[in-house]
Structure 1
Amino acid sequence: REVRRLAPRGEGRRRIMAASVIINLWSAPRCCSTALMYSFAQRSDTTVMDEPLYASWLAKHPECARPYREELLRASELDGRKVVASLLSSGPEGGVLFL
Structure 2
Amino acid sequence: MASCDYLNTLCVSQSSTNPIFRGFGIRKVNSSEQRLIKYVHLHTQPIRDLAFHPEAHDGIIASASLDKTLRLTSLLNDSVSLISLCCYFCITGCA
Q: How high is the TM-score relative to the length of structure 2?
A: 0.24
* Higher RCO structure, 1 or 2 (CA under 8 Å, sep 6+): 1
Q: How high is the TM-score relative to the length of structure 1?
A: 0.24
Higher helix share: 1
Higher strand share: 2
